[in-house]
């Protein structure tokens, strides 16, 4: 299977997926990594793994619609079976989401539907939550609102700050994202409108 990964930053989830492809855990390969930021460290990771990279800066486009059309074209060059958002910090247009419907995944650092959007770790701390975590979901037009496939929980400790909590969540991200990508590449995972199915079971 051909996988295209979109990033904006560090790319630690990208790394986990690259590693899982190399080891054979994911029956697929990352065909390309595309970033909207030229200085994203994930681009270095991709280069080191011999994966083709492209920077597509939103600053060169007059509108979100035009950017997302160019992004769609750039992705389609690689004929992906699956498109993965891994810290891609852009809101996507409905046209983009529809184009890749059923083959577009995201990881979000909260136990969705809690804490959609940004600063999720601080919000979990501020709310006094005793548990927090991350979610892998299919992307739909609802921002951070598509059907959840898999979640991992972590405890929140009294002395946590946003950074210590983020690190604990990140470890779980690196575990569950490759697992979900493996399922997808094994043809076990499907999206039907607003539902996610694994091995014929509604999740």
Residues of this chain that bind ligand GRF (CB under 6 A):
7, 9-14, 42, 86-87, 107-109, 134, 173
- If the CB atoms of residues 69 and 129 are measured against ligand GRF, the closer one turns out to be 129
89 is in an annotated binding site: yes
Non-local (6+) Cβ contacts of 173 within 8 A are 12, 13, 16, 107, 109, 134, 152
- If the CB atoms of residues 31 and 120 are measured against ligand GRF, the closer one turns out to be 120
13 is in an annotated binding site: yes
Contact 160, 167 (CB under 8 A): no
Contact 86, 42 (CB under 8 A): yes
User: What are the residues facing 30 on neighbouring strands?
Assistant: 3
User: What are the residues facing 192 on neighbouring strands?
Assistant: 195
39 is in an annotated binding site: no
First and final C-alpha spacing in the chain:
23
Smallest distance, ligand GRF to C-beta of residue 39, A: 13
Smallest distance, ligand GRF to C-beta of residue 4, A: 15
63 is in an annotated binding site: no
Contact 165, 124 (CB under 8 A): yes
Tell me which residues are annotated as active site. 108
Instruction: Write out the binding residues for (6R)-10-formyltetrahydrofolate.
Output: 64, 89-92, 106
Instruction: Write out the binding residues.
Output: 11-13, 64, 89-92, 106
């Amino acid at each position: 299977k051909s996988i295209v990964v979109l990033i904006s930053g560090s790319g630690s989830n990208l790394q986990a997926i690259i590693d899982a492809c190399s080891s054979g855990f994911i029956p697929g390969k990352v065909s390309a990594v595309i970033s909207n930021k030229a200085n994203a460290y994930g681009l270095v990771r991709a280069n080191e793994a011999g994966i083709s990279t492209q920077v597509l800066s939103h600053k060169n486009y007059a509108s979100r619609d035009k950017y997302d059309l160019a992004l769609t074209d750039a992705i389609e060059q690689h004929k992906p079976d699956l498109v993965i958002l891994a810290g891609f910090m852009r809101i996507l247009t409905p046209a983009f989401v529809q184009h890749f419907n059923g083959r577009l995944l995201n990881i979000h650092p909260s136990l969705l539907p809690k804490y959609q959007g940004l600063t999720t770790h601080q919000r979990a701390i501020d709310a006094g939550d005793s548990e927090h975590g991350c979610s892998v979901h299919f992307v739909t037009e609802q921002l951070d609102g598509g059907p959840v496939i898999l979640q991992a929980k972590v405890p929140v400790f009294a002395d946590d700050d946003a950074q210590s909590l983020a690190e604990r969540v990140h470890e779980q991200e690196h575990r569950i994202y490759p697992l979900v990508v493996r399922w997808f590449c094994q043809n076990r995972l499907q999206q039907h409108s607003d539902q996610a199915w694994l091995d014929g079971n509604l999740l």
